Structures are given as structure tokens and as C-alpha cells.
Structure 1
Amino acid sequence: MSVKNNNPPASEDPAFINETKEKWNRVRNSAITFMASRTERYLALKQARRARLMECILYIGFTIIFSYVIIAARDTSKAFNHAQGVREYLVGTEIPSLPGKTFDTIATISELWFWIKEVFVESVIWSQGSDFRYPILGNNQFVGPIRIRQARVMELQCKIPPALAYRGANCYNEYSTATMERRKNPPGTSWPLYGECSKLSSTLTDCRNWTSYNPGYGWIPIDSFAGITYGGGGYEVELPIRKSDTMLILGDMEKYEWLNDNFTRAVFFEFILYNPNSNLFLSTLLAVEIPPSGGMVPSYAFRVVDLYPQGRKSTQEATALFYLVFGMVIIMTIAEILMIAKHGRDFLKDGYNLITVINIIFFFIVYILDLHSLATSSQILSKTSNVNDPNIGVKIHQTAYVAKLVYNFNAFNAFLAWLRCLKYMDLISDRTERITATLSACASSVAALLVIFGIFYAGFSIAFFAAFGQDLYRFRTMGMTCLSLFDILMGGGNLQELVQYNKVLGPLLFVSFVVLMALVLLNMFLAIIVQTYSNICDKMEREQSEVSSSVRWMARKSARSFLKMILGSGKKNVVEKQKDDSLLNESELRIIWETDRDAFEAMGITRVNMFLDIADTTGENEMELSAVQDNEKAIDGNQDHGTNEEISHLLMKLLERTSAVMLEQKKLRGIVEGSRPASRVAGAKA
């Protein structure tokens, strides 16, 4: 016999309805609180993401344009071939009278004279004509005169031991502006004075034109192997273009000892070549230094300079981009000034900001040098019809040197510009973010290790210099010693050479240096990097940069949308990941929006698309339930809405795909919709 149940259904029980309404209100208020905090974070994150993306795009675009300007503005293949051809003629050719001897191996004054007559003259001044326009070394032509110039020093009072005073030794100092000789009569032991020029060849009508001291038309620096910089002055000879006249002059110079082992400190060979095929000028400088201690040190500099870049289409494009880069540098300068004024010294504590400031300073230096070169080039090109003008050669030498400085500054600038791109590597992937974070985190530890490394390196440098400085060429100066030790550190040392000169200190210093510097300190460096990377990985598993993660998410979302557009709806399964029961789809999110539309609009979420953007964490308009758990702290403060466990449980029930509160219990949904305007209910049903 069945017992009749007189109790009303749960859905009609007033107590159950009231209890359900109270629970729903707690859930609704907690959800609104959660969405309010999420909205505020979303708007701030959206603004930061937009600013970071804009900064990244502009800077990387600027770096690419700047790099293109550097590459397109120089035709390196033509410049290299132009310089290499002349270099092989003058430096690589053997001296016929001295088999096996080249310019690089000259060691005495007599060998230098052989090279001048048999290689230099034969390569450069081979014509018997008197026209500068004849081609030499290929299709090159002279611009300006051909000069031989020497820097001499004065005789000084010697400070010698008293026991050797009777020998009456003479002393000759190293080259400097104070010791440089500046007398008017031509140099040489038996050189005739001005009134005796008739004793020379009839072609030499005026000694002063080719033997007197010339203070120089400008400063043409030539760096010495010993760190000495020679200026543009000295005793100079302008060689005629006719070979027979040149040989007469050189014969008289050798006869009257124009070059002297004691007084002469350097001899320079200077001329300019122009190649109409490549439209390039070549500044040629060959130097032979004679130290006070004896011997000779040859060196050379072949600098290609483009004085007429307007003749090439690629250069015209690079010039236009050059001015674009200049405008971007001006904008960057203004932005950096405003940031420094706003943040003060704290702004420069960031390494990337400091790199930007240094970058801007070098940019302005380059622009100043470029303007100087442009002005000088205009003057040179207006006078090239007179190839005998002595000012042309000096100006081209100066312009070539300035161009070399510009290339050096641009090289350093390009390195700094690309180095600063590391700041945006965290936007690519979490792996690149870990690497850049590791480099930043271990900077202080690496700096401390470098201090220790520098102390040991300085100690070993002094030890090697003291032990082998007088015997081995590689250790003749402190600078060369430091470079040689770096070569040993890279595995290029010669232990046998050290043992040959010092059987005790040689192997002792070598083994100690390799063990301590290479095996200990370098391994400590690697240990610091590995340990820091491990710590960064552990830290990033717990917390991630919201801006970087947001940018990467947006990039993935854009990529998916692009692939969908390319592949079409039929290929949708290629780019869409497998659906998860822990995610709400777009339809279910729209139901939540329609259910509490008034509350969302009061929070500033006026459109359903904005709500979908806020709730979307996967790029598929699906909201992860884990996002609710991650934000429990924002809900925990609402103690009036019930216990945390109950709120979290009911809130997750609200957001589940098969929400028992909203989707399955029709009675409860009818109660909730009954508390909304009819239009809202209709919208939700739709």
C-alpha cells in the first residue's frame, strides 16, 4: 500500500525558494565582485599591452631600417676589391733585388730605398708622360700629388754614464710634437743649402718645393705600432708624374741621405686614387717607422671613401632612409628627455635605458661627422678638375679618416641597437623570457666574478710581461701581453716558445694561468648561469609577467585567426584545440552576460564582446575555471556572502558548462529570470 506524500515539491517549497534565492544572491554578488576586479585588471593590462607592443614594433622597425641604411650605404665588395688590388701591388710584391723581401719585411734604410725604386715607382709611376690622367694599377687615376713625407727629431743632450762620456755619444729622442725637427734647410748630412740648388739636377729648380718642412695642410692622423700619432707636418717631396724625373729626384735624395737612421722616425707614402668604374676614391697611406732602438716597423692604411654617393640608386634609397632614421632619433631623444625629467636618475638605473641614451649620443656624433664629410666632399668635387691642387689630397685623406670613424661608430651603434632588442624577447615565448630574465638576474654575480677575473688577469699580465717582455714579440708591451694571454685563454698558446726562453717560469706561469683562469673561473661563470636559469624557471612557474603573457596570448590568437582565414572553415580542426569540459563556450558566456547585464553595465562592461574579451583566457572565447580559483582572494574579503568554500563552490557551479543553477534547474532559472525585466528575459531566452 502506497503512502501518499502530502509534502509539496521542493521547487514549490517557500523555504527552499528563499534559501535558493539567498544562495543565488551570494553567488551573484561574489561573481560581480570577481568580475569588477577582473575588469579593472583587464583594462590596465590592455593599456600596458598596447603600450608595450607599440614600443616593441617601433623600436624593432627603427633597428631594421638603421641596419639597412648601414648595409645599403656601402658597396663593400667594390670597396674591398679596390683596396685589395692596390694593397697586393704595393705590399705583396717582392723586391726584385732582394728575393723574399716585401714591404712588410723591410728592416733597413737600404732595403727601403730598394723598395721605393723597384716596387713603389714601378707600380705607381711607370709612365714617361706628364699627364696625371693615365691609368695605373688597373683603371685608377691620380687625384692630387704623390708625396713622400718624413717625420724627423732633433738631436738631444745625452745622459750617459760618466765612464762612457769620452765616447761623445749623440742621442735622438722618440717622436713627439716637442722633439719634432722644424728647421728650414733640407734634411740630410750633406744636403745643399738654397743657394746651391744648381749642383743638383737641372730639373730641380727650387729645393724648397720638394725638401722643405711643411707644417701640413691639415691633421692627418696615422696611428703608430707604439701608440704614437703622427700629424700632417714634416719634410715632404712631391714626386712628378714622369718616371725619369722621379728617378732623378730619388737618386739625389738617396745620395744626400735624405733618410737617416738616427734622425728619421717615420716615412710616409701618400697618394689618392680614383676609380671611375666604381666611383670610389682610395686614400693610400704607407708608413715605415724607425724606433730609436733601431729596426723598422712597416704599416699601411687603405681607406676607401665614397665622395659621390648620389650616383647609385641603392645609395639614394639609403639616403632617404638615413633622414627617416634621423627623424626617429629626434623623436627618441625627446621621449628619453621627458622620461629622465619624470623619473630622474632612477630611469638610468635600467640597463636598457642606459643603452638607449648611449645609442642616441653616438647617433648625434655620427650625424655631425656625416655633415662634415658632406661639406668637405662638396668642396673636393668642385675642384677635381685641377688634379695638381695639393689641397685635394689632404682633404680626401681627412674625409677618408672621418668616414672610417663614422663606420666605427655605426658598428658600435648597430651592436647596441640590436642588444637592446633583448628587452622585447619576453614577448616571443616563455623560453626567451627565461633566458633574458636569467641574463638580467645574474648580472651582479657575473660582475663580481669579472672583478676577480680582472685581478687575476692583471697579475698574470704583469708576470708574463716581466718574464718575457724583452725576449718575445708577443709580450713586448702590456697591451700586447693582455691580447696574447687572451689568445692563450682561447687555446692558442705556444708553451714550447715560453719554455725556450725560461725553463722555470715558462711552464709554471702557463699552467697556472690555464688552470686558474680557464678551468676554475670560466667554470664558475657557467655555474652562475646554470644556477640562475634554474631559479628563474622555478620562479616563472609560480608567477608570470601579465603583460608579456597577454602579448603572447594576443599573438597566438591573431595567428589562429589568420590561419583560420587562410585554411577556411573546412580546416578548422587544424587550428582549434580539443574542447575541455572545464571551459565555458561563447554561448554559455553570453547567457551569463544576459543574466546579469545591468550589473555588468554598471561596472562599465557595456558590450557583450567586451565581456567575452575579459572572460577569454585561451583565445577561443572560453573561460577557464582555474581563473576563478586563481582569484579566490578577491572573493574571500566578502565575508557577508557566506563561507569561502560555499562561495567558491556555488560560483564554480555558476560558471560550469552544465551549470545546475542556471541551465538544468528550470524552476530556479525561472525564479532568477522573474527578478529581471521582461526584455532581459527575452534576450536570455534568445
Structure 2
Amino acid sequence: MSSTTNIRSVDSFSSKSSLAPQTIHKPKQSKFHKIIQFFLSFNIDRKETDDNSQQHAKLVLRAFLIYMIFVGNILIVAFLSQSKYDFFITNTFEYHLIDARFPVKSAWLERNIRYNPYKNAQNKYGDAFMIDFNQIATFDDIWQFMNETIGNVFYRSHVWQSNPAVTSQRSIRWILDHFLMIGVIRMRQVRVKAEKCNIPKSYSDEIADCYPAYSLNKKDTDPFGPITFSDSTEINMKQAWNYMSADTTGMGSYSGQYGTYDGSGYVADLAQYERTNKRFTNDLNELEKFHWLDKATRALFIDIITYNPSVNLFSYIKLIFEMPLTGGIFPSYKIENKQLLRYITSTKYILIGCEIIIVTFTIAFFFIEIVKIIELRLTIFLNIWNWIDIILLIISILMIIANILRLLTINTALYGKMSIYISTFDELTIKLLRLQSLFDTLSILLTSISVIRILKYCDFAVTIVRIKATIQRCFGDLIGFLIMFVAIMIAYAQFGNLALGQQAPAFSTVGKAFVALFRAVLGDFDYEAISDASPIAGPLFFFLYIFSMVFILFNMVLAIIVDSYEELGNEHRDVINRMLINVTPVVKHSIRKFFERFGLWKKVKVIVQFIISAEDPFNSKTVADLLQEFKYSATSSLYDELRHAFAHDMTKLISKKDFQAFLKYSRDDKDRQRDTLQSLFSGNTPLIDFNEQQEWSKRARNLCTIQQWAQLRYRIARLEELFDLIEGKIDYIIRTSDSLLQTVASSFERSDNENV
């Protein structure tokens, strides 16, 4: 023992002395190498790990548990950032603003209404008629909506002042008894420049200017209206007639149904510095009097901000009126409820803790991805899970940046301006709402992708492994089919747009037609609209599309997937076995090791056996007890087979009934072998016949199971019954035909006799 020790010490000394010049750089390389190995240990790709399946199972379980902590914190942050009162607040504003009806003059009674159900009401009440927000169709309707609906909700409600001495600039305005209005209401329009019309010369004398669709290079930036007159002393809202850039307004871009509009435009802040109903009405009357809205207007935006202190939610109400170059007004709305001040509730410590954990995990994942890219280089992009990891990391970083910007914006000196007393439009709150919307969107994406990524670690579930293997096997066929599917969809979308686009709204553009066709595949379609648009082409188009896409192409997709699934189940089980990870021994060993550390394993084992026992635990047996009995009552082959099958489950409980059944089977098997040997050695069965019988029995066991043999016997019995039934029917037909022939022959004889 001492000699070997001396040899090792000499070898180690010689190795150290031979590497003496490199000892200066060795510590740095070893630390870096350890860091790389630590981060690469989270890569669970089977190609990059050792062949030891147990070691790979430990690696997968460790990565799975660590990742589940990350996912759990993401879900907590996502759910705590949302409020269960969002829907109720949105429903409240929809009821009071969108669904509320207001009176308009009778001159617009017939517009856009095929059948007028209020004709008798018009004759009875003269110029009184009621519409709601979605029925607005003219500029006069917009002004009436602002005066009636908006004015009633926001300026003709109860006003409570904290101090009677303060003026209306410092008043707290309660809306619908539970909401506070932040700032004032802002109206913003975007306009286009007039340009020469591209029309025949015969019309050019009568028609001077045309107004194009809205775009950045055609928007109007010049002052307009009465401010351009020499005498503009009557105007109080001079800023409403001057152009303001997006940086000045603080508004973001908006993608509507008929175009995309930036945050610039002409801004009118109503009742600014004096939040009273009188000032609000005067400002509206001034804008209406001087025609602030005209045919150069392409979109009108109304922005309102409220705060509900009971649920700590800011509400951003955005009413949009689009006015395309084809004419008409198309209203829409958007109501967002955001929790801008999140760290003031009882769950703030949980939220802060989860966010810190997410930041820590994101930093760790960032270094893991960097090390993987350095180690694997471009081969990292050959695996789809690596793409998901990179996307997940990018979204996590963007979400952290958005949250930091939001916190910095709230905690800056500008935070004092976000007050319930503010008498101008609150652009700071708009900025916070935009940052919060970005944070919520990134949080939703991160939550969805992170939950999907759990499937990466689920290779210990046979069903998931089989599904993943099926998708991998048929992926190429599905890509080829997808190309054909998209080509046919584009063809049908083009046909639907050209044939039905003028009448059916769902096919007015190629993009909408594409979406409508996808919805039709899912069973959501409006056949009456298609039929009304074209009585001949509509039904023909619909039935051809449903037949070709649903009955043919989608069944082809199912056939491809089912065929690959069956091939994996019948011919390629080795693929599933290679992908499957057996984590049961690792989990059992970890649990046992944990309880053995505290000396509780024996007690826990007894408790578990007592709980999982189906019968009385004192009458139940274990697999070890069964093997002990099999040593004396079973054959050696059966004993070895059972011991190999339950090598890791010796403590598994067996009911008394099953225990007796096992013993009976072992005795019967032993008696059967004894009888076979006795018949062989007594000369009753030749050795050749015995060998053939054993060979046929072995082949039969390989080709057919007991269940399949029972099914085959049942089917043969049914077949015999069918043959007996067919035989009886044939006998009946023969007897019936004989009697029928006799009857026919007698009738012929009778007729011959009568003729004679």
C-alpha cells in the first residue's frame, strides 16, 4: 500500500514539474472551464450528454424542477398584474358610453337603415330620434354625442370639492359615483392635404380638390380654420387649429380598420384649466361653429382617463371615428384597465419577490445561452427548442426593461403631475399606460411560451414522447402539404374577394377573405351573406371550398398524422424507446435518500404501504414474499422471469387474492412440465414430436397473445353460427322454390286444359 502511494506521489510530482511553465495560466482556465461545464449541464440534449441513462434522467429532472420554479414565478406575476374587476369596469363604460342612446334631428333618420322601425315615432315626435355610438354616421352626430352622452357622464355628474375655498381647477370630479376623471377630455384629429383630382376634363371645372387616404407623406401639417383669418379674436381654443407632432402630443400610433394613424394631429383639450360643464359646452360649440371637422379629416380620436380608487385601476377610454376617402364615418372604441400603481397592495412583497426571481433566472439563462452558442456555434439553431429558448430569453429581457422604464417614470419628479386635480390632459399617465400595455403584452407572450416549453422536459411521459416522435416523423410531409394548402387558400381568397367583395363585408379585402375562409374551416361562416352577395357564385363557391378543403385536404392531414402514429406504434418502437426517459428509479432513489438522511425511511415505507394497500395491510404480501414462495413452488425459469420483472419493485404490495393466484399458476406450470417430461421419458411422446410441439408453442406465443387467441376463438364461433344461419336460409329458399315451381307447373297445366 505504501509503495503504490509513493508511486502516485512521484507521478504527481513529475506531472507538476513537467507542467511548471503552464501553472501561471492554469487556474484561470480551470475556473472558466468549470463555469462552462456548469452552464452546459443545463443542456438536456441527449447527444450532448453521456450514455448513462440514469445520469441523463437526473439531469432532466434537475432542469425540469428549476424551470418549473421560473414558470411558477412568471404565472404569479402575470396573475397578480391582472384584476378580476377589469371586465366589470369595461362593461360599465360600455353601458354608459357605447350603448347609451342620445337624440338627433330627424334629417338623419333614413341614413344607413334599410327598414326604418321608427317612422311612426318620427311622425309623432317630429325632430326627435335616438341613436347610440355605433350608429353615428355624420359630423353632427359626433357633436351631438359629445354634448349629450360625454357631457352627461363626465361633466353633468356630482362634483365634490375637498375645500369649498378652492376653485374648479382643484376640484375632484366623481364620475358614475366611483370614478375620478384624470385631467380633461382630449379630441385629436388627423387630416390630409387637398390635391388635384384625377378625373376627366369635363368634370375638372366643377370639382377642384380631392382628399386622399391618410399616410405620413400626405398628412396635413398647416394651420387651418379661423386661425388663418386676419381677425381671430373670437377663438378661445387656438391650439386646436395648429398642428402638433407626436412628441408634443405624447400619443402613440393606432392601427384602425381603414388605416394606420400616428400620434400627431390637431388637438383640442376640452374644458382645459376650468373643468366645468359650461366651459366644456362652450368649447364644443366653438369647434362645431367653425367646422373643426370637415372632409379633410381622416380620423378623430377622443381620449379619456379615469381612476377607480376602490380597485386601484386606471381606465383609458379611446373612442375612434374613422372617415375614409370613400365617405362615411365608422366608429370603434377601446377600453383598457391598467394597474399602474402595483406596489401598494397587500401582495406587493410577493410580487416584488417573484420579479426578483425572474430577473435572476433571466440572467442565468442569458449566460447559459451565451455558453451554448460558444460551445455549439451554428449547430444550436438546428433544434427548434433552442429557437424557443432564444425567443423566451429575448421576451424576458424586454419585459424587464419595460418594467424598469415604468418604475423610473413613476418615481421621477414628473410623478407629481399625475394628480386627480390636474386640469390639463395628463400625458404622463398616457405614457405609463403605454408602458404598462407593453409590459402586459410581453408578460402574456412570456407566460404562453414558457408553459409550452415545459414539453421539452416531458420525455418521461410515453404519450408526449409518442406525439413528439409522430410530429418529427411526419414534419416533412406536413410542410409539403402546408405549401399546397396555402396555395389553394390564396386562390379561394382571391376568388371570394373578386366575386363577393362588393357585397359581403367578410370578403371586402383579400386579407379579410383569407380570415373568413379559415373561420369557415372551423365551422364559423355566414352562408346567408355569401348567398345574398351572389345567388349563383356564392353557393357554388361555398360548397366547392367546403368539399375541397374540409372533406379532402383536412382528411389528408389526419391521414398523414395517423399513418405516422401507427408506424411508430407497430414498426418503430425503438424510436420511442430512445426518446423515453425512465425517471422512476431516480425519483425513488432521491426520495429514499432524503428520508434516510433524517432516519425516517423505514417509518415512511410502512406508512406508504399502509396507505396504498387495497385490502387489509396485515393480510397483504409483497413481491419479495412471492419470490420467496416461488423458490419452492415454481420452476426456475418462471422464478427468474418474475425476479427480473420486479427487480426495482420488491416492496410492491400484492393482495391476498393475487398472491394465491400467482401460487396456483406456478404449481400448474410446474405440474404441466412434470407431466410433459413423464410422457417424454415413458415413451408416449416421441422426442421429435416434443421438439416440434415446443417450437410451435414458442412461435404461437410470439405471434399471438392469449387475448388475441380468445378473440380469434370468439370470431370463429360467430363465423360458425353465421354459416349455420346461411345454411338454414338456403334450405328454406330451396323448399320455397320447389313449392313455387310446383304451383307454377300446376297453373300451367290448368291453363292448358282450359284451352283444350
TM over 0.5: yes
Mean Cα displacement is larger for which, 521-530 or 560-569? 560-569
Equivalent residue for 1:507, pick from 539, 545, 551: 539
Is the CA contact 2:313–2:340 (under 8 Å) kept in the aligned structure 1? Answer: yes
Residue 284 of structure 1 pairs with residue 317 of structure 2: yes
Q: Cα offset for 1:577?
A: 4.8
Residue equivalent to 1:678: none
Give the aligned partner of residue 279 of structure 2: 245
Give yes or no for the alignment of 1:307 onto 2:335. no
Picking from 231, 239, 254, the partner of 1:196 is 231
Aligned to 2:729: none
Q: Aligned partners of 1:457, 1:580: CA distance in 2, in Å?
A: 64
* CA distance in structure 2 between the aligned counterparts of 1:427 and 1:556, rounded to whole angstroms: 14
Partner of 1:662: none
Question: What is the CA-CA distance between 1:564 and the residue it aligns to?
Answer: 4.4
Contact kept? 1:423, 1:436, Cα under 8 Å: no
Q: Does 1:56 align with 2:64?
A: yes
Following the alignment from structure 2 to structure 1, what is the Cα–Cα distance between the partners of residues 493 and 620? 62
Counting only pairs closer than 5 Å after superposition, residues 433-452 of structure 1 correspond to structure 2 as: 433-452=465-484
* Letter paired with 1:182: T
Q: Are 1:117 and 2:147 an aligned pair?
A: yes
Contact 1:147 1:236 in 2 (8 A): yes
Aligned counterpart for 1:103 among listed residues 133, 149, 173: 133
2:479 matches 1:423: no
**Hey, what's the Cα distance between the residues in 1 that align with 2:210 and 2:144?**
28
TM alignment of 1:384-533, pairs within 5 A: 384-385=418-419, 387-388=421-422, 390=424, 393-428=426-461, 430-533=462-565
CA change 1:43–1:165 in 2 (3 A) is closer
Corresponding residue for residue 158 of structure 1: 197
- SS in structure 1 at match of 2:220: coil
Q: Distance in 1 between matches of 2:383 and 2:630?
A: 42
Q: Give the superposition deviation at 1:361.
A: 0.9
- 1:571 aligns with 617
**Structure 1 equivalent of residue 292 of structure 2:** 258
Other structure's SS at 2:198 match: coil
* Structure 1 residue 103: Cα displacement: 1.0
SS at match of 2:542: helix
C-alpha distance in structure 1 between counterparts of 2:586 and 2:579, whole Å: 10
Alignment of 1:204-215 (within 5 A): 204=236, 207-215=237-245
Aligned partner (choices 615, 618, 624) of residue 648 of structure 2: 618
In the alignment, residue 513 of structure 1 is paired with which amino acid? Y
Q: How has the CA–CA distance of structure 1 residues 442 and 122 changed in structure 2, closer, same or farther, with 3 Å as cutoff?
A: same
Alpha-carbon distance in 2 for matches of 1:291, 1:316? 50
| Pairwise CA distance, 1:541 | 4.1
**CA distance 1:516–1:256, shift in 2 (3 Å):** same
User: Against the structure 1 CA distance between its residues 90 and 161, is the aligned structure 2 distance closer, same or farther, given a 3 Å change threshold?
Assistant: same
CA contact (8 A) 1:128 1:244 kept: no
For normalisation by structure 1, the TM-score amounts to 0.73
Residue matched to 2:722 = none
Contact 2:100 2:149 in 1 (8 A): yes
Letter in 1 for 2:59: A
- 2:422 is equivalent to residue 383 of structure 1: no
Distance 1:563 1:108, change over 3 A: farther
Instruction: Give the direction of change, closer, same or farther, for the CA distance of 1:162–1:528 in structure 2 (3 Å limit).
Output: same
In structure 2, what is the Cα distance between the partners aligned to 1:555 and 1:575?
24
Q: Which has the larger displacement, 539-548 or 159-168?
A: 539-548
Correspondence for 2:176: 137
Contact 2:622 / 2:651 at 8 angstroms: preserved in 1?
no
The residue identity in structure 2 corresponding to 1:443 is: F
* Alignment-mate amino acid for residue 281 of structure 2: M
Q: Tell me the amino acid that sits aligned with residue 86 of structure 1.
A: F
Which letter maps to 2:80? A
Question: Are the counterparts in 2 of residues 153 and 179 from structure 1 also a CA contact under 8 Å?
Answer: yes
Residues 1:577 and 1:536: Cα distance change in structure 2 (over 3 Å): farther
Paired residues of 1:174 and 1:291 also in contact (CA < 8 A) = yes
Residue 584 of structure 2 is matched in structure 1 by 552
Per-residue CA deviation, residues 112-156 of structure 1 (Å, 9 max, x unaligned), is 122111111111111597354120123211222221122121111
Opposite residue 210 of structure 2, the aligned amino acid is C
Correspondence for 2:85: 78
Contact 1:271–1:285 (Cα < 8 Å) also in 2: yes
Greater mean deviation of Cα atoms: 374-383 or 536-545: 536-545
Asked whether the equivalents of residues 151 and 234 of structure 1 are also in contact (C-alpha less than 8 Å), the reply is: yes
Query: What secondary structure does 2:217 align onto?
Result: coil
Mapped to 2, the partners of 1:571 and 1:344 lie a distance apart of: 58
Distance 1:287 1:42, change over 3 A: closer
**Aligned to 1:460, what secondary structure does the other structure show?**
helix
What letter matches 1:48 in structure 2?
H
State, as a whole percentage, how many aligned pairs show the same letter. 22
Deviation per residue, 1:43-77 (Å, 9 max, x gap): 923322211111121122221221122112222x1
Structure 1 window deviating more from structure 2 (355-364 vs 499-508): it is: 499-508
Q: Which amino acid aligns with 1:330?
A: I
1:78/1:116 Cα in 2 relative to 1: closer, same or farther (>3 Å)?
same
Q: Distance in 1 between matches of 2:181 and 2:459?
A: 55
Correspondence for 1:297: 330
Check if 1:537 corresponds to 2:564. no
> Are the counterparts in 2 of residues 267 and 287 from structure 1 also a CA contact under 8 Å?
yes
Q: CA deviation at 1:584?
A: 10
Aligned to 1:11: none
What letter matches 1:297 in structure 2?
Answer: F
Q: State the TM-score, normalized to the length of structure 2.
A: 0.66
Relative contact order (alpha carbons < 8 A, sep ≥ 6): 1 or 2 greater? 1
Q: Would the alpha carbon gap of residues 64 and 192 (structure 1) be closer, same or farther in structure 2, given more than 3 Å must change?
A: closer
* 1:154 match: secondary structure: coil
The CA distance in 2 between the partners of 1:238 and 1:565, in whole Å, is 74
The gaps in structure 2 that reach 5 residues or longer are 1-48, 105-127, 160-167, 593-600, 632-642, 653-756
The 5 Å alignment of 1:23-42 reads none
Q: Distance in 2 between matches of 1:342 and 1:421?
A: 24
1:322 aligns with 2:384: no
- Measure, in 2, the Cα distance between the counterparts of 1:42 and 1:281: 55
Flag the 1:198–1:229 CA change in 2: closer, same or farther, 3 A.
Answer: closer
Provide the rounded CA distance (Å) in 2 between the counterparts of 1:297 and 1:475. 18
Q: Distance in 2 between matches of 1:227 and 1:382?
A: 36
Measured in 2, the distance between the counterparts of 1:584 and 1:553 equals: 25
Alpha-carbon distance in 2 for matches of 1:248, 1:42: 80
The separation in 2 between residues aligned to 1:110 and 1:42, in whole angstroms, is 76
**Against the structure 1 CA distance between its residues 68 and 385, is the aligned structure 2 distance closer, same or farther, given a 3 Å change threshold?**
closer
Please give the alpha-carbon distance, in whole angstroms, between the structure 1 residues aligned to 2:158 and 2:51: 83
Which secondary structure does the structure 2 equivalent of 1:620 belong to? coil
The CA deviation at 1:540 is: 5.9
Partner of 1:591: none
Distance (Å, rounded) in 2 between the aligned partners of 1:330 and 1:214: 42
Amino acid at match of 1:212: N
Which whole-Å deviations, capped at 9, do the CAs of 1:375-434 have from their partners, x for residues lacking one? 2222453323474364x6222223212322222222222221111111222313x23322
Q: Secondary structure at the match of 2:400?
A: helix
Inter-partner Cα distance in structure 2 for 1:170 and 1:584: 103
Q: More displaced, 292-301 or 250-259?
A: 250-259
SS in 2 for 1:251: helix
**Is the CA contact (8 Å cut-off) linking 2:320 and 2:333 kept in structure 1?**
yes
Amino acid of the structure 2 residue aligned with 1:504 = I
Name the CA distance, whole Å, in 2 between partners of 1:353 and 1:68: 25
For 1:655-670, list aligned pairs within 5 A: none
Q: Secondary structure at the match of 2:275?
A: coil
Q: Which amino acid aligns with 2:86?
A: A
